[in-house]
Amino acid sequence: MPRPTPGTYRRLFAVPGTRAFTIGNLLARLPMGMFSVSAVVMIAATRGSYALAGAVTATGLAATATVAPWTARLVDRYGQARIAVPATLLAALGSLALLLCIRHEAPAWTLFASYAATATTPNLGGMSRARWSHLLKGDADALHSANSFEQAVDELCFMLGPALAAFLCGTFFPEAGTLAGVVLLVTGMLLFSAQRSTEPPVTGRTFTQAKSLLRAPGMPPLLAVCLAMGVVFGAMEVVTIAFADAQGHRSAAGVVLGLQAAGSCVAGLLYGAVQPAGPPRKRYVWCIAAMTALLTLPLLAASLTGSLLTLAGALLVAGMATAPTMVTGMTLVQRRTPEGRINEGMTLAVTGLLGGIACGSALGGRLAEHASATAGFGVPVAAAAVALLISLVPFDDTNT
């Protein structure tokens, strides 16, 4: 059995430059959980339409899934600081344009155009993981801990971001969440990009010379699993909100979903403090199998008890399988990505997740509306089972 290694994270941040780029990255990543909630609150408060708010945010999600891989290729080609800063400033202008369009009652199409401009936001988690991969090259154990830490940060940001956005928008004014998010994003990105000593070297590869990573050995099934995992996350969010609303406690949905993220965050840190036995390829299958099994708990809690409190406990436990699964999956993506294209590889994985989240939200919402919220909890279980089947497909597993 693997045992926790004392001081794992302390030794990780003893590497020169890691603390500085991590602080900047944390500041810049927190708004990732703020912008969509802030946009929904702004649009619903001024236009009185959740349908319009949902359509605008969905458009932004689709635009991000389209633009993000190209932004990542530019980052790999020209360097993080050279591309990430202007791309972030353009995204910030998109958020500010959305705010102004809403405040001055501009036509609805301007909301879609403004929010689509935010798609240029670089994949901050991917850039951070790329730095760790560069700094810890050859040290698989340390890289495992770094990937686990990054996954825990993802969960923390998506746990705190929506709560902070809701607090700012509700306490001050509807635009407060967006304004705070823009300030955090730009400040964090400038601080992150200023740490040039830890930035990975550029590849010097042109777009015409670079073969698509979609054809890299072993990459297609990994991306397909990411898509299925995205369905899990998207469906779970929608059906949990629908379930809480049906119980008359819609305001508590954020707290309940936060418990799922909290379970994943804790599990991610613990997973990074141990050095699991066996190759990542085999661990991946076991992690997905555990996730599939644990996702039956929310379904059982909702169908057998109908209690929101019981569901919250089930989500806390179910969330503990998320981080180990994502960490192991990202490790495999890193190993399948050619040297010098790590940002592109990480972003393709995130794009798969985003596409899955959009599909999962639609499936979960449709089932919750036309059947019941309880029935909707079957979508994450089914999606996880599909991910498990895909992971069992044999492929060239050299070095995995």
Instruction: Give the amino acid at 372.
Output: S
Q: What percent of the chain has pLDDT over 90?
A: 30
What average pLDDT does range 33-55 have in this prediction? 78
Query: What is the three-state SS of 111-131?
Result: HHHHHHHHHHCCCHHHHHHHH
**How far is the CA of 184 from the CAs of 18, 29, 198, 400, in angstroms?**
19, 8, 21, 37
How far is it, in rounded angstroms, from Cα 299 to Cα 374?
A: 7
Contact 351, 121 (CB under 8 A): no
Q: Beta-carbon neighbour count of residue 115 at 10 Å?
A: 27
Q: What's the pLDDT score for residue 224?
A: 92
Domain 17-147+159-202 and domain 214-400 have a common topology: yes
Positive/negative CA dihedral, 315, 297, 287, 339: negative
Average pLDDT estimate for 173-190? 93
> Which residue is it, tokens 């500041």?
27
What letter represents residue 340's amino acid?
Answer: G
DSSP for residue 5: P
Q: Which residues of 145-161 are buried (b: 16+ CB within 10 A; e: fewer)?
A: bbbbbbbbbbbbbbbeb
The C-alpha atoms of residue 214 and residue 266 are separated, in whole angstroms, by: 32
Task: Output the furthest CA–CA distance in the chain (Å, rounded).
Answer: 61
pTM: 0.77
**pLDDT of the residue at 204:** 59
Classify burial at 81, counting beta carbons within 10 Å of its beta carbon; exposed 0-12, middle 13-18, buried 19 or more: middle
The band of 346, judged by pLDDT with boundaries at 50, 70 and 90, is confident
pLDDT digits (tens, 9 = 90+) for 299-320: 999 999 888 899 999 999 999 9
Amino acid at 250: R
Residue 46 pLDDT greater than 70, yes or no: yes
Question: Where in the chain are the domains?
Answer: 17-147+159-202, 214-400
Looking at the predicted structure, is the pLDDT value of residue 48 above 90? no
Work out the angle between the directed axes of helices 322-336 and 140-171 (0-180°, nearest 10).
120
Q: What does the alpha-carbon distance between residue 13 and residue 53 come to, in Å, rounded to a whole number?
A: 41
State the pLDDT at residue 83. Answer: 92
**φ/ψ of residue 17, rounded to 5:** 90, -15
Mean pLDDT confidence for 254-258: 77
- Tell me, what's the pLDDT at 187? 96
* CATH number among 2.60.120.640, 1.20.1250.20, 1.10.490.10, 3.30.1450.10, domain 214-400: 1.20.1250.20
Q: CA 345 to CA 243: how far, in whole Å?
A: 36
17-147+159-202 topology per CATH:
Growth Hormone; Chain: A; (1.20.1250)
